[in-house]
């Protein structure tokens, strides 16, 4: 029997924090007590958990006394600020930010991929980046079966990647454009003019409604964004393959929730689509959606609200004459498997 744990959630009123509360309940996590923590602005709010109201408390240095597990989704700065307080209290921090992911001695865990790494923590376990999690749920079983040599990823990331603020920005811009223009020709002509009269983008670098742009996080001197380099470095750490050849282009798209990714995989031996489907059919938290002729393939609208990763469009890479290449497409809920669901699964490992 699982021992009930005293759980705290820091950032409990944010988009991911809300999903953490729901996930603890939906998975029947053995919660002895639940403490919801947020900024002073949110303190006093009521959140339902198992039919009861839980009052949100202001996050502070003494918030973790008597806590076993602290789920953090309040940003890297907050995680760094309260790390010592969490560890000193004897709790384990499961952190959803980028603060500690690449730190030596901090496990970076996807429970379907490397659950054993969670045992080697020193008070902090890191939740990987959302796109890395979604990708590796599908890729890791194939790496174990066929030996992955090279991975090329193109991500199509929804507004939910910027939390509730990003989703609200997509909705408000879309409403403004639809209200101001009749038909696509007028919409295209007046796009910038209409958006100049609403609040300027704040969650994103550019307008998100009816738009696509290859800009997520800041760009580094090598021309890659931080988001793209997270995919590279985190994949190597999670798979314990420091020399793995990985590259990525991250794109923001006007989907409300759930990210998608186009993946090109090169293996150490010839692999057929049938072999790939057979492995993925038995992989945990993978759902095959792979019948394109019938209109069955992964889409963010189908992945939204679910903890599993959808995989489809599985086919041989025509540019790879030796048969070692596979193309496929995946979709997964950024707020669930990409964040809250994965964090609660890590807590279950404890």
* Average of per-residue pLDDT across 299-325: 97
Spatial separation of the C-alpha atoms in residues 5 and 88, rounded to whole Å: 17
pLDDT more than 90, % of the chain: 90
Q: How many residues does the chain have?
A: 350
What are the structure tokens assigned to 91, written together? 């709790």
* Average of per-residue pLDDT across 302-324: 97
Spatial separation of the C-alpha atoms in residues 58 and 327, rounded to whole Å: 47
Q: Supply the pLDDT for residue 35.
A: 98
* Average of per-residue pLDDT across 29-51: 96
Spatial separation of the C-alpha atoms in residues 199 and 183, rounded to whole Å: 23
Q: Supply the pLDDT for residue 80.
A: 98
Q: Under DSSP, is residue 38 helix (H, G, I), strand (E, B) or coil?
A: strand
What are the structure tokens assigned to 334, written together? 């950024």
* Average of per-residue pLDDT across 116-143: 97
Clarify whether 259 is annotated catalytic.
yes
Clarify whether 130 is annotated catalytic.
yes
Q: Supply the pLDDT for residue 184.
A: 65
Terminal-to-terminal C-alpha distance of the chain = 13
Res. 201 pLDDT band, cuts 50 70 90: confident
Give the number of other Cβ atoms within 10 Å of residue 229's Cβ.
19
Give the number of other Cβ atoms within 10 Å of residue 90's Cβ.
12
Task: List the Cα angle 262/268/272 in 5-degree steps.
Answer: 60
What are the structure tokens assigned to 133, written together? 């999690």
* Average of per-residue pLDDT across 130-151: 98
Q: Which of 269, 331, 326, 289 is nearest to 151 (CA)?
A: 326
Per-residue pLDDT reduced to its tens digit, 243-272: 999 999 999 999 999 999 999 999 999 999
CA dihedral over 63, 66, 70, 76, signed as positive or negative: positive
Say if CB 194 and CB 181 are below 8 A apart. yes
DSSP H helices in 126-225:
130-146, 163-180, 183-195
Tell me: pLDDT of 87 over 80: yes
Q: Which residue has the higher pLDDT, 178 or 334?
A: 334
Tell me: pLDDT of 183 over 70: no
Q: Supply the pLDDT for residue 200.
A: 79
Q: Under DSSP, is residue 84 helix (H, G, I), strand (E, B) or coil?
A: helix
Tell me: pLDDT of 197 over 90: no
Choose, from 130, 215, 240, 306, the residue flagged as catalytic: 130
Tell me: pLDDT of 191 over 90: no
Side-chain-facing half-sphere of 189: CA atoms under 13 Å: 7
Helix (H) or strand (E) holding 78: helix 76-88
Q: Supply the pLDDT for residue 263.
A: 98
Q: Supply the pLDDT for residue 1.
A: 52
Q: Supply the pLDDT for residue 98.
A: 95
Res. 302 pLDDT band, cuts 50 70 90: very high
Mark 174-204 as b/e (b = at least 16 C-beta within 10 Å).
Answer: eebbeebbeeeeebeeebeebbeebeebebb
What are the structure tokens assigned to 175, written together? 């409403």
Per-residue pLDDT reduced to its tens digit, 318-332: 999 999 999 999 999
CATH number attached to the domain at 5-127+340-349: 3.40.50.720
Question: Could you tell me the CA-to-CA distances from 101 to 97, 178, 230 in Å, in that order?
Answer: 8, 41, 9
Q: Supply the pLDDT for residue 79.
A: 97
Give the CATH architecture of domain 132-158+212-334: 2-Layer Sandwich (3.30)
* Average of per-residue pLDDT across 33-53: 96
Q: Which of 286, 304, 253, 310 is nearest to 19 (CA)?
A: 304
Domain segments of the chain as ranges: 5-127+340-349, 132-158+212-334, 164-195
Spatial separation of the C-alpha atoms in residues 312 and 18, rounded to whole Å: 30
Choose, from 121, 143, 248, 259, the residue flagged as catalytic: 259
DSSP class of residue 120 equals G
Spatial separation of the C-alpha atoms in residues 279 and 291, rounded to whole Å: 17
Tell me: pLDDT of 182 over 90: no
Tell me: pLDDT of 47 over 60: yes
Q: Which residue has the higher pLDDT, 205 or 237?
A: 237
Average pLDDT over the chain reads: 95
Say if CB 78 and CB 203 are below 8 A apart. no
Question: Could you tell me the CA-to-CA distances from 348 to 82, 96, 168 in Å, in that order?
Answer: 22, 16, 32
Q: Supply the pLDDT for residue 193.
A: 79
Whole-model pTM: value is 0.94
């Amino acid at each position: 029997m699982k021992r009930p744990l005293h759980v705290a959630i820091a950032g409990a009123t944010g988009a991911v924090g809300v999903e953490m509360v729901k996930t603890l309940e939906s998975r029947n996590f053995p919660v002895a007590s639940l403490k919801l923590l947020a900024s002073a602005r949110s303190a006093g709010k009521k959140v339902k958990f198992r039919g009861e109201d839980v009052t949100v408390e202001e996050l502070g240095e003494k918030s973790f006394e008597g806590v076993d597990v602290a789920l953090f989704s309040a940003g890297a700065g907050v995680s760094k600020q309260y790390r010592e307080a969490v560890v000193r209290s004897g709790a384990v921090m499961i952190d959803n930010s980028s603060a500690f992911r690449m730190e030596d001695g901090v496990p970076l865990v996807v429970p379907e991929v490397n659950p054993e790494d969670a045992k080697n923590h020193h008070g902090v376990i890191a939740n990987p980046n959302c796109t890395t999690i979604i990708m590796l749920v599908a890729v890791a079983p194939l790496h174990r079966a066929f030996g992955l040599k090279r991975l090329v990823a193109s991500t199509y990331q929804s507004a939910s990647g910027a939390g509730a603020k990003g989703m609200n920005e997509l909705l408000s811009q879309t409403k403004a454009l639809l209200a101001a223009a009749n038909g696509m020709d007028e919409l295209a002509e007046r796009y910038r003019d209409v958006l100049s009269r609403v609040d300027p983008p704040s969650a994103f670098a550019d307008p998100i409604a009816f738009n696509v742009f290859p800009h997520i996080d800041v760009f580094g001197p090598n021309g890659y964004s931080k988001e793209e380099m997270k995919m590279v470095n985190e994949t190597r750490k999670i798979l314990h393959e420091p020399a793995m050849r990985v590259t990525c282009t991250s794109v923001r798209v006007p989907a409300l929730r759930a990210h998608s990714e186009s993946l090109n995989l090169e293996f150490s031996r010839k692999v057929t689509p049938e072999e790939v489907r057979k492995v993925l059919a038995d992989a945990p938290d993978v759902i095959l959606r792979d019948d394109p002729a019938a209109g069955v393939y992964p889409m963010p609208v189908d992945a939204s609200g679910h903890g599993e990763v959808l995989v489809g469009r599985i086919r041989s890479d025509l540019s790879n004459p030796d048969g070692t290449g596979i193309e496929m497409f995946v979709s997964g809920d950024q707020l669930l498997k990409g964040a809250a669901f994965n964090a609660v699964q890590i807590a279950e490992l404890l």
